[in-house]
Amino acid sequence: MVVLEKAPAKINLSLDVLHKRNDGFHEVEMVMTTVDLADRIELTLLDQDKIKVVSESRFVPNDERNLAYRAAKLMKEHFQVKQGVRIFIEKNIPVAAGLAGGSSDAAAVLRGVNKLWGLEADIDELAELGAEIGSDVSFCVYGGTALAKGRGEKITHLPSPPPCWVVLAKPAIGVSTQTVYQKLNIKQAEHPDTQAMIKALEEKDFAGICTHVANTLEGVTTKLHPEVNQIKEKMSEAGADAVLMSGSGPTVFALVAQDARVHRIYNSLKGFCPEVHIVRMLGNRETTC
Ligand SMILES: C[C@@](CO)(OP(=O)(O)O)[C@H](O)COP(=O)(O)OP(=O)(O)OC[C@H]1O[C@@H](n2ccc(N)nc2=O)[C@H](O)[C@@H]1O
Ligand SMILES: Nc1ncnc2c1ncn2[C@@H]1O[C@H](COP(=O)(O)OP(=O)(O)O)[C@@H](O)[C@H]1O
């Protein structure tokens, strides 16, 4: 038996960091949405009691360090499953990019082995389990558009943004999420108006969404990697309606309403940036799972 799952990337339309907690994590408020750049996960039933990860990407580990492996192991232990699984990952999402590629792979494995092993856990239970793997996994289990609170695992679903183009550009650098959080000075950083972003989504107000994109972590990463600001400037000059770094970076996204401008933005970055993608917002949960 084979189960196929799509694992889409996310972007953070807004990301606020409220305070550092006693457990070392930070309390956040993030408005997140999925885009149609996705890894493809193929799960094959194994009779032997083992988990095997296969990927042609040289950027992801193929052992227990892989978040997809950890998702299968968690499900196996939680539901005392005796069968195994072969996990093939077709990696299309840039790695360590602020796009939650690893978290989305893990979420796809949670959904997929639930079907493969006939476990019948509901989606909320999968999202709760996902939080044990990483802060972004619960959101990725659902996909769509949501407000994520706590350390990222408390999910409230939101209306999808109006359809638009998203240009993603990742410079040739990797960013450690842990380092970015460690270097953050919460008092001095920029803080988004999360409620205004939610209102703009509820009113399907594209201009309002563009006005309120903001990311508290952006200043930390741009200080470490000035390329991020250069990409933002290029996107703005080429006519983007809004530009922001996603998550802890270094990927920058542009929101663009007009078809004619999308290729202008793409062309302004191609050659400057090794990875540039033109994608659409997915927005709705039904289209991601
Ligand atoms: C910044 C965000 C925004 O969506 O995404 P990415 O840039 O990674 O995509 C997330 O908060 C990242 O989520 P995720 O990548 O799952 O983080 P985790 O593995 O749980 O944590 C990695 C490290 O980041 C720090 N961390 C993470 C989440 C949080 N709320 N507070 C933190 O301080 C901790 O130091 C932790 O050890
Ligand atoms: N399936 C996976 N896909 C991508 N990265 C993975 C995966 N499993 C583990 N990792 C590790 O997780 C780290 C973060 O990867 P990723 O989820 O792509 O980035 P981000 O957290 O910035 O969105 C990388 O250093 C990578 O080695």
10 is catalytic: yes
**CATH topology for the 2-157 domain:** Ribosomal Protein S5; domain 2 (3.30.230)
Q: Where are the domains of the chain?
A: 2-157, 165-280
Residue 289 predicted with pLDDT over 50: no
165-280 topology per CATH: Alpha-Beta Plaits (3.30.70)
Distance CA 36, CA 20 (A): 32
User: Is 124 annotated in the active site?
Assistant: no
pLDDT digits 0-9 by tens, 271-284: 889 999 999 988 77
What's residue 287's pLDDT? 45
Report the SS3 class of residue 188. Answer: coil
SS (H, E, C) 29-73: EEEEEEEEEEEEEEEEEECCCCEEEEECCCCCCCCCCCHHHHHHH
One-letter identity of residue 91: K
Pocket of ligand 1 (CB under 6 A): 12, 15, 24-26, 28, 30, 98, 100, 103, 134-136, 151-152, 177-178, 181, 247-248
Round to whole Å and give the CA distance between 178 and 113.
Answer: 29
Nearest to 101, CA basis, from 85, 112, 89, 113: 89
Give the per-residue pLDDT at 258: 92
Residue 72 CA: distances (Å) to CA of 44, 51, 67, 76, 279: 12, 7, 9, 6, 29
155 forms beta bridges with: 148
ipTM of the complex: 0.97
Residue whose entry in the numeric block shows the structure tokens 């639930």: 114
Cα(95) to centroid of ligand 2, in Å? 5
pTM: 0.97
Q: Given ligand 1 and candidates 11, 177, 244, which is best to mutate, with the most ligand atoms within 8 Å of its CB? A: 177
The CA 260 to ligand 2 mean position distance, Å, reads 33
Which tokens go with 1? 């038996």
